[in-house]
Structure 1
Amino acid sequence: MDELLILVGGLLAITVFAAVEYYRQLQKVRREYEKAREVIGDIVVSFNRQLNQEASKTELVAYKVEALSSKSEKALNKAEETHKRVQSLEEKLSEVLEYREEVSAKISEVDGKVSALSTSLERLNSKFSEIEEQTRQFSMVPEAKIEAVIPIKREKALAPLTETELSVLEMLASEGPKTAPEIKERIKLSREHTARLMKKLYEGGYLERDTSKIPFKYNVKKEMENLLKKKETETPAQ
């Protein structure tokens, strides 16, 4: 009986010791589990943080890639536009070169014409010099330029003349040669009227005209002067 109690007590003691040890091990495992859970939580939090950072970086990279893609498209469009402009400029440059060749040919042609004109001008200047020299030599010899006398028809002597025309003839016969402006001042007629009158007397053969100077000088012809003197001598006798 005592042995049984001792055995039961021993088993009970072993059971209690085992239970205590199991409890201690269980607490230890629990503490380790808590630590492991905290570590895992930290790892998860850190992983989530890194994952968020990587996601942000990925979004940033995607944005940059999209921006670069847009820039690449713009750059490609600009490159195409630049290529088209270069082609257009090359075409225009080709046209300009062709036009330049045409202009050069025309300039050469104009140079030839200018050279020919220069030669002609030199010849003309030489001829002008000769003419001036001849004119200078002729000017040294005084020469009256009296136009050819138109003969007076006897039947048209004094009868057709007006009083003004007759007074002009008498004035020229008594005072000598005069110009049309001088005659205009004396007879008090307009310049046109005086010019017509002098033309009529000249073409009628009453006057002769000196063209060596301008304005021309008019003078009564000798034959007409004799007729006027004869008329003056006959008038008192009547």
Structure 2
Amino acid sequence: MLSFDRELKRESEKFDTMVSKVEGSYNTADVSYRKAESLENKIGPIEEQLGSLNQSVESMSQAITEKLAENTQNNTTVLSGLTGLEAKLKDIETTQEALRTKIATFEEQIQKLATTPPPQPQVQTEVVLPPIPIKRDKALAALTETEIAVLEMLSKEGPKTAPEIKERVHLSREHTARLMKKLYEDGYLEREAGRIPFRYSIKKEMEALLQKVEGPAAT
């Protein structure tokens, strides 16, 4: 009986020990649960903050990406502008080189002109054409009254130009020019070719012929 009581007491002590351990474990688990719950309460705001941070990071990343793209486009525009400026600078350099060449050429020409003696004035010599002989088949009877009047005018007043004769015979400029050319080509007149307008004079033999004709008429 004593042995049974001892065994029962021993088992009771074991049970109490187990109960104590269970209670201790329960208390430990409860504390751990409370700690876990407290941690969850603390982790919740942290997760929210992390979510906000992630959104901020994503926004910042997107903004940085857009800024980089904008900067890349701006850099491309700047590079294009620089390329255009380089081309313009090359054109300006080419133009300057051409101007330098022209200036050097002008300076050489000026130097040559400075060292070259001035040209001597040319003396114009009067060209006297050989007289055209009077054609034997031409006579005073073949001339018009105007042509005879021109011959008499030149015989009495000396050499004259076609414009001067035009004013006296009251013909047009073209008509007078044709008349004087005809008398010259037919051999009645001489012409000074060294000046313009030409000066016409009557030939000596024609002047003598007029005097012979006028002589009998006067008697």
TM category (shorter chain) comes to: 0.5 to 0.7
- Superposed counterparts of 1:81-160, under 5 Å: 81=76, 85=80, 89=83, 93=86, 104=97, 114=106, 117-118=109-110, 121=113, 126-127=118-119, 130-131=120-121, 135=123, 147-160=129-142
Q: Tell me, which stretches of 5 or more residues in structure 1 are unaligned?
A: 1-32
- Superposed counterparts of 1:1-238, under 5 Å: 47-75=43-71, 81=76, 85=80, 89=83, 93=86, 104=97, 114=106, 117-118=109-110, 121=113, 126-127=118-119, 130-131=120-121, 135=123, 147-211=129-193, 213-237=195-219
- Could you tell me how far apart the structure 1 residues matched to 2:45 and 2:89 are? 68
- Could you tell me how far apart the structure 1 residues matched to 2:116 and 2:187 are? 41
1:194, distance to aligned residue in structure 2 (A): 0.4
What TM-score does the superposition give when structure 1 sets the normalisation length? 0.57
Richer in helix (by share): 1
Question: Is the alpha carbon distance of 1:149 and 1:121 closer, same or farther for their aligned partners in structure 2, counting shifts above 3 Å?
Answer: farther
The question of whether the paired residues in 2 share the 8 Å contact of 1:146 and 1:208 is answered with no
Q: How many pairs align?
A: 188
Structure 2 letter corresponding to 1:62: E
- Could you tell me how far apart the structure 2 residues matched to 1:200 and 1:158 are? 14
Structure 2 letter corresponding to 1:160: A
Q: Tell me, which stretches of 5 or more residues in structure 2 are unaligned?
A: 1-29
1:89, distance to aligned residue in structure 2 (A): 2.8
The question of whether the paired residues in 2 share the 8 Å contact of 1:150 and 1:205 is answered with yes
1:197, distance to aligned residue in structure 2 (A): 0.6
Structure 2 letter corresponding to 1:197: L
> Helix, strand or coil: the match of 2:217?
helix
Question: Is the alpha carbon distance of 1:208 and 1:73 closer, same or farther for their aligned partners in structure 2, counting shifts above 3 Å?
Answer: closer
What TM-score does the superposition give when structure 2 sets the normalisation length? 0.61
1:65, distance to aligned residue in structure 2 (A): 2.2
- Could you tell me how far apart the structure 2 residues matched to 1:46 and 1:112 are? 89
The question of whether the paired residues in 2 share the 8 Å contact of 1:207 and 1:221 is answered with yes
1:227, distance to aligned residue in structure 2 (A): 0.6
Deviations 1:76-97 (Å, cap 9, x if unpaired)? 5665x469749x939x958976
Structure 2 letter corresponding to 1:89: T
Deviations 1:59-109 (Å, cap 9, x if unpaired)? 212221232234345545665x469749x939x9589769957984x6677
RMSD: 4.5
> Helix, strand or coil: the match of 1:186?
helix
The question of whether the paired residues in 1 share the 8 Å contact of 2:126 and 2:195 is answered with no
